[in-house]
Amino acid sequence: MAESGSAKPSTMKSYFWRSRDTLKVPMSLFRDNRERLVSRLRANSEVSAAGTFVVLQGGEDVPFNDTDINWPFRQESFFQWCFGAEEPGCYGALDLAAGTSILFVPRLPAEYAVWQGKLYTLDDFKKRYAVDEARYTDEIARVLKEKRAHLLLTLSGRNSDSGLLAREAVFDGIAEFKVNNSILYPEICECRVIKSPGEIEVLRYVCKISSDAHKVVMRTVRPGMVEYQAEAAFCHHVYSTGGCRHVSYTCICGSGHNSSILHYGHAGAPNSKVMQDGDMCLFDLGGNYCGYAADITCSFPINGKFTEDQKLIYNAVLKARDAVIAAAKPGVAWTDMHLLANRVMLTSLKAGGLLVGDVEDMIKAGLNEIFQPHGLGHLLGLDVHDVGGYLSCHPERSKEPGLRKLRTARTLLAGMVLTVEPGCYFVDCLLDAALANPDQAKFLVAEQLKRFRGFGGVRIEDDVLITETGVENLTFVPRT
């Protein structure tokens, strides 16, 4: 919890910092988040502020199977957004009437100091995390009773990307209170969708560190190296230089045909191929700092020289990205941006001789989903696929080809941070299905497509902030 290994409680500062040149993140960022949430809930006609408390439960240490070793801890994202606490086993409460905050921390045994270090006082935690009070987790029910809590707002909602439920707070004595678990989730999600100036600074930092790491990877890799060496180079830079102990998702380091596998790098395919001269590389890598995620993809030939076919596909994707960057602004529907990217890319493939016919007819037939079987991008923040994509008060997921894969269909607002990641892939099973479908096969030049079997794919992914007038690109990597 201290800012460095030599810090003492008397010198503890109220910020997250990994020393040296890494970003100091003031705890006021999380205080401001709490204030935004309280203001939003006070404006909700279903809520009476008097006697109403938000109660959130933080993440727990997770054992590795049945052993006494734990997975590296990462704080639960809603709790991180509200409190920024680094320790597991915490709870937090917000008093809507008073606008005050309480951080509940575990009461640790004295033996803890032997194995894990100095035991900090409640006052230490109060100062460290800039909360109004710090108490122990075994006191939650008693403290809430003392404060005349009547209604507890707890978190319960289904993540539209994973399909999993958010963790609802449970503690000894909760049955003594009235609990509502439907109001909080959409309100806190809406708060997380629009980034505060403080959050934007953290995202700028982690995107810059991740961009620099991508450039290190580009300078490092060469034919004969193994994909995981690219992963190692990225992870080393974001941690050693940027203080990013975690990456935001499993590193994707696909080369050759592997660059057409959208979530390559998983346990069954752990970035283990030797990269060959002439391979196209697709490296999708993002660091994580203070819980905030970057998500950047670079595609380039391993030997540094594009073939004519590689140039055709890369430029088709780049034009799609450029079109979206130029058009995105508040008031524009994300679905329209996706279709714009599809339209530009298919037009380039047609000009390159791979397709024939009318581009609009191709989209109607679902050909856009054959070459780009994923959405244009997603909200980005404390989660790489951040919350708020599909809430009840916003457009539902489309059932149309291409659009049905989008992680959000929202209209853009200033303060949103999203990825823009058009891609073009040659996936055998999708090409085979398209060639067997008369409605799609009529657009395909089968003889030309043969030479792209095994090509892999190209994705260009930038992290962008929607401003009042357009887009600020937070990504700084070579694209041309």
Report the alpha-carbon distance of residue 114 to residue 108 in Å, rounded: 12
User: What are the residues whose beta carbons fall under 8 Å from the beta carbon of 165, sequence distance 6 or more?
Assistant: 156, 157, 158, 159
Residue of 76, 86, 124, 295 marked active site: 295
Contact 383, 413 (CB under 8 A): no
Report the alpha-carbon distance of residue 300 to residue 309 in Å, rounded: 12
Contact 72, 92 (CB under 8 A): no
Long-range (24+ apart) CB contacts under 8 A made by 426-431 are: 426/260, 426/371, 426/452, 426/453, 426/454, 426/455, 426/456, 426/457, 427/260, 427/373, 427/457, 428/453, 430/370, 430/373, 431/370
Report the alpha-carbon distance of residue 77 to residue 176 in Å, rounded: 27
Whether 277 is catalytic is: no
Whether 46 is catalytic is: no
Residue of 86, 421, 462, 463 marked active site: 421
Report the alpha-carbon distance of residue 347 to residue 359 in Å, rounded: 6
Residue of 263, 266, 451, 453 marked active site: 263
Cα–Cα nearest to 83, from 60, 58, 65: 58
Written as six digits, the tokens of 83 are 């409190």
Written as six digits, the tokens of 249 are 């998702």
Residue of 374, 383, 410, 462 marked active site: 374
Residue of 227, 461, 462, 463 marked active site: 461
Quick one: angle between helices 184-193 and 28-42, nearest 10?
A: 130
Written as six digits, the tokens of 185 are 């989730």
Amino acid at 268: G
Whether 421 is catalytic is: yes
Contact 438, 174 (CB under 8 A): no
Whether 236 is catalytic is: no
Pairing of strands 25-26, 133-136: unpaired
Residue 148's region, left for phi above 0, alpha for psi from -120 to 50, else beta, is: left
Whether 284 is catalytic is: yes
Whether 161 is catalytic is: no
Residue of 167, 385, 407, 410 marked active site: 385
Report the alpha-carbon distance of residue 467 to residue 480 in Å, rounded: 25
Cα–Cα nearest to 259, from 231, 221, 227, 218: 227
Q: Compute the Cα dihedral for 419, 425, 429, 430 and give only its sign.
A: positive
Residue of 204, 257, 338, 378 marked active site: 378
Whether 425 is catalytic is: yes
Residue of 124, 227, 284, 383 marked active site: 284
Residue of 21, 68, 308, 468 marked active site: 68
- Catalytic residues, which ones? 68, 263, 284, 295, 374, 378, 385, 421, 425, 459, 461
